[in-house]
Chain A
Amino acid sequence: MNATADAVTSPAATWSIDPQDTVMDCRLEKIFYGDFLAVRNSIVPIEKNKITGFIGPSGCGKSTVLRSLNRMNDLIPVFRFEGSVTYHGQDIYDKSIDPVLVRRYIGMVFQQPNPFSMSIYDNVAFGLRLNRYKGDLDERVEKALRSAALWTEVKDKLKNSGLSLSGGQQQRLCIARAVATEPDVLLMDEPCSALDPIATRQVEELMLELKEHYSVALVTHNMQQATRVADTTAFFSVDISQGSRTGYLVEMGETRQVFEDPQADLTKEYVSGEFS
């Protein structure tokens, strides 16, 4: 093991999880956009039925890491990945894997609410129809909307446009759309950054309910949010020593430990608000 890898893994050594509880074992060696090294040497396990929060300053690559977990980054032509992401015993970056299929099992909720320009019902049914779901569509749509805590608000206007809803409702609609197909893992990329505090609260409560059935990876800019909802927190930082801005994992552990007893100085500075 080389020196840099050692430096990365050692702070987290105090904390470990049972491989049995890991739904995705992400070993990111290098993530490039063209020649730009965006993220290096980060080992980020995603735990089953837990919320794993990714925090860190802007440009630390936390979103890049998240988007690598369902191969969304493959849409960027210059993206290059070294390492492995093991999901149910398969490396999703293996040559035999179809990224399109990966995304059907690992759902995503984006920073900006992005419902399709179709009815509320069709938005939620989209993934089910895509997967040629043969059962009762109405039932699954209702279930998804209930689990996104949106059913009572929209049950009388399922035919209305998804875009007619408020921002917070739109984001919950997107969550309903993502969970309708019952994916294993839900990736959430700053899902509350475009929402007001009340809508944020609702989405946070929703996340806590969702982890009963799903494993959630959550990128957040808001440290309070991480303390409120994340079971495990991964702190990323930016290394500017090589003249570039490369993100890497500094420390990962139980949320309480990361915030109350951080092992690395960088984490200590960040969680105490000395820099952001």
Chain B
Amino acid sequence: MTGTISEAVLEQDLASMPQLQGSMFEGRGLRSRLYTGITWLLAILASLPLFSVLYMLIAKGGARINWETLTALPPSAFEFGGGIGPAIVGTAVMVGIGAAISIPIGILAAIYLAEIDPHTKLAQTARFLAKVLTGFPSILAGVFVYAALVVAMKSYSAWAGGIALAVLMLPTVILTAEEALKQVPQKMKDAAYGMGCTRAQVIGKVTLPTGIPGVMTGVLLAVAGAAGESAPLLFTALFSTYYINGWEGLGEPTSSLSILIYNFSGMPYDNQIELAWTASLVLVLIILVFNILARVLGRQKY
């Protein structure tokens, strides 16, 4: 008798206990797993294009990566061999010119926007224009520099190409550098003022050094973007099959990877088409290196 009573009590206790065990196939858990699965699938889908492009470039262009290809002049119509040397140098030089122009201007503008007078009409206008310029069709930068410079100089040139790239890099540099400088906490700047720093000293000794990793990220992303541009170079640097010849050579038509890819891929010769693939691979690798640099240098040192 006592046994049955205690069993009854036990059952009653169990019934009043909170139900905590989950079931694999209950609706809520099932839905949660389903959604997780979908996001997995979509994440894989999103990285698919990049990986397939990389795979294709390596498969088709990888074979020709060697010293000769990287340094030799491009072949003419029925020639075998040859390389993309002038295009690599041309791209590097024009991106260099673009960086040399856009980085100092961009960082100084960012300092003005973030630190000196963030709320003036001038600052608001400049910020708005920079934002518009980020979405600016790159071919228009080429057309603009063509009309402003190429026509006046009566020649396509590396200068013109570099300036067109600078126009495209500038807004990225300005906006990312401004953002990076604004991240520097006000209390750090207060500390610097409290030590007896002038505004220039606060910016030079505290704000810029603290914000520089973020600024570098912006600069390198702008460089990576510019390296891959083709449309603005079409109107400004045109193309050449020779290396840039000294300072004078900067005033003459200049080769670049992107234009070489465009030109050679349309040719009916296997050699040139192979070189176009190799040039594409080299270009992607250059851009990859800058992106990795941007990540590494973007880390805070302290």
**B194 to A107, Cβ gap below 8 A?**
yes
**Chain A residues with CB below 8 A from B210, complex form:** 116-117
Taking A100-B196, A104-B195 as contacts, is the C-beta distance between A114 and B302 under 8 angstroms? Answer: no
Bound: A178/B201 CA distance, A: 17
Residue of B191, B197, B206, B210 most packed against chain A (CB within 10 A): B191
**Chain A residues with CB below 8 A from B302, complex form:** 117-119, 161-164
B285 at the interface (CB under 8 A from A): no
Taking A117-B210, A130-B201, A163-B302 as contacts, is the C-beta distance between A103 and B194 under 8 angstroms? Answer: yes
B192 at the interface (CB under 8 A from A): yes
**Chain B residues with CB below 8 A from A102, complex form:** 196
CB proximity to B under 8 Å, residues A98-117:
100-104, 107-108, 110, 112, 114-117
A70 at the interface (CB under 8 A from B): yes
0/1 string, B250-285, CB within 8 A of A gives 1: 000000000000000000000000000000000000
**Chain A residues with CB below 8 A from B125, complex form:** none
**Chain A residues with CB below 8 A from B191, complex form:** 110, 114-116, 174, 177
Bound: A126/B198 CA distance, A: 14
**Chain B residues with CB below 8 A from A107, complex form:** 194-195
User: How many of A's residues come within 8 Å of B, CB to CB?
Assistant: 30
A75 at the interface (CB under 8 A from B): yes
**A104 to B196, Cβ gap below 8 A?**
yes
A107 to chain B, nearest CB (A): 7
**A116 to B197, Cβ gap below 8 A?**
no
**Chain B residues with CB below 8 A from A116, complex form:** 188, 191-192, 206, 210
**A114 to B195, Cβ gap below 8 A?**
no
Closest residue on chain B to residue A109 by CB atoms: B194
A83 at the interface (CB under 8 A from B): no
Bound: A100/B192 CA distance, A: 10
Bound: A102/B198 CA distance, A: 12
B8 to chain A, nearest CB (A): 55
Bound: A162/B209 CA distance, A: 14
A186 to chain B, nearest CB (A): 11
A189 to chain B, nearest CB (A): 10
**B190 to A127, Cβ gap below 8 A?**
no
Bound: A103/B188 CA distance, A: 15
Taking A116-B206, A118-B209, A118-B302 as contacts, is the C-beta distance between A103 and B187 under 8 angstroms? Answer: no
A127 to chain B, nearest CB (A): 5
Give the residue of B187, B198, B201, B205 whose beta carbon is less than 8 angstroms from that of A110: B187
A72 at the interface (CB under 8 A from B): yes
B300 at the interface (CB under 8 A from A): yes
Bound: A127/B205 CA distance, A: 11
CB proximity to A under 8 Å, residues B176-217:
185, 187-188, 190-198, 201, 205-206, 209-210
Bound: A116/B300 CA distance, A: 13
**Chain A residues with CB below 8 A from B195, complex form:** 103-104, 107, 126-127, 130, 177-178, 181
**Chain B residues with CB below 8 A from A127, complex form:** 195-196
Bound: A178/B302 CA distance, A: 20
**B196 to A103, Cβ gap below 8 A?**
yes
Bound: A4/B96 CA distance, A: 69
**B187 to A114, Cβ gap below 8 A?**
yes
Bound: A100/B194 CA distance, A: 8
A144 to chain B, nearest CB (A): 13
**A72 to B190, Cβ gap below 8 A?**
yes
**B187 to A112, Cβ gap below 8 A?**
yes
**Chain A residues with CB below 8 A from B193, complex form:** 72, 75, 103
- Residues of chain B touching chain A, judged by Cβ–Cβ distance below 8 Å, are 185, 187-188, 190-198, 201, 205-206, 209-210, 300-302
Report, nearest first, the 4 A-B pairs whose CB atoms are least far apart: A104-B196, A161-B302, A108-B194, A114-B187
Contacts A118-B209, A130-B205 aside, 11 further interface pairs with beta carbons under 8 A come to A72-B193, A101-B196, A110-B194, A114-B187, A115-B188, A116-B210, A117-B210, A119-B302, A126-B192, A127-B195, A130-B196
Between-chain CB contacts (< 8 Å), 30 pairs: A70-B194, A72-B190, A72-B194, A100-B196, A100-B197, A103-B194, A104-B195, A104-B196, A110-B190, A110-B191, A114-B185, A114-B188, A114-B190, A115-B191, A116-B192, A116-B206, A117-B209, A117-B210, A118-B209, A130-B195, A130-B196, A130-B201, A130-B205, A131-B196, A161-B302, A162-B302, A177-B195, A178-B194, A178-B195, A181-B195
